[in-house]
Amino acid sequence: MFVVVSSLAKDFHSHAVLDMLKNIPDLTWTPGIPEKFLGKSEEHVRRFFMPKIGSSVNDKTHMVGAAPDSFSWVEEKPECIVIRDQDQCGSCWAFSSVGPFADNRCFSGKDATRQLYSEQYMVSCDKGSDGCAGAYFLQAPQHFLKKTGVPTDKCVSYKSGKTNITGKCPTTCDDQTPLVLFKSAGFADVCTSEESIKVALTQGSLQTSFTVYTDFAYYTKGIYQHKFGPQEGGHAVTMVGYGEEKGVKYWIIRNSWGPSWGEAGYFRMLRGVNECNIEHQCFLTNAFE
């Protein structure tokens, strides 16, 4: 009986929707069915999204300074960039907070080489969030980084992606050696304006989030802007730069769906108009004490 039910599960993607998207005039992105989601059910695909993300209650910090016309940490410090995969756990909130923490330690030279820090420890131990079921407030993982910290991924490796289980908070490393936790010195919500975000990006990568609509699951490349479908939830990601192509301004954003998704693990989103609420809240992490 369970085999029959599984075979009848409705696919998330529809060729009718795909054809409709392909026929939208002047679309700035290319729709398709990403290999990651090919033949996957609605239930499976929606695991990658969180419930709607709540608004920040923190004071905002307006960043002032000079920012170039375009900037990308992928080009500036490629040795510090790593594409991760959250897999079947709704842990984008952890990847988008631990990722910039690790990025910024590497960008600043605090870590001589790019280190992997443990998203699993945050998923299992941050009681201000809800593990594989997501997080409502992005400042919760930022507070966790500041007050508790995380070990390296070598110490506590990522497991929830294969099981979709949050897991118990570990008290030792995987090999039973003592935990060593690395903390941030704090964070600031720098989403006050497009210019503030640009200036902040020259100092480090940013944790941000956006409202996910149906058509985002059809994204393959280009500069995404919402064109079709209802809200599916929220998604937390890492902003790493900005630019412009054929007069269309964009943010460069790192996803946590592995390097085979999108533009080698990244996507671009329309800049300067708060597309899908992407410019509503974004956190710059002061990556070390």
**155 labelled catalytic:** no
Q: Say how far apart CA 260 and CA 155 lie, in whole Å.
A: 26
Q: How far is C-alpha 34 from the chain's CA centre?
A: 17
Q: Which of 80, 89, 92, 282 is catalytic?
A: 92
Establish whether 276 is a catalytic residue.
no
Q: CA 256, CA 254: separation in Å to the nearest integer?
A: 7
Residue in the structure block whose two tokens are 């910090």: 61
Q: How many other CB atoms sit within 10 Å of the CB of residue 50?
A: 24
Smallest CA-to-CA distance from 238 within 142, 95, 122 is with 95
Active site residue 255: yes
User: If 0-12 CB within 10 Å is exposed, 13-18 middle and 19+ buried, where does residue 107 land?
Assistant: buried
Q: Which of 104, 255, 276, 282 is catalytic?
A: 255
Pairing of the two strands 266-270 and 219-224: parallel
Which one is catalytic: 155, 173, 235, 282? 235
Q: Which residues are catalytic?
A: 92, 235, 255
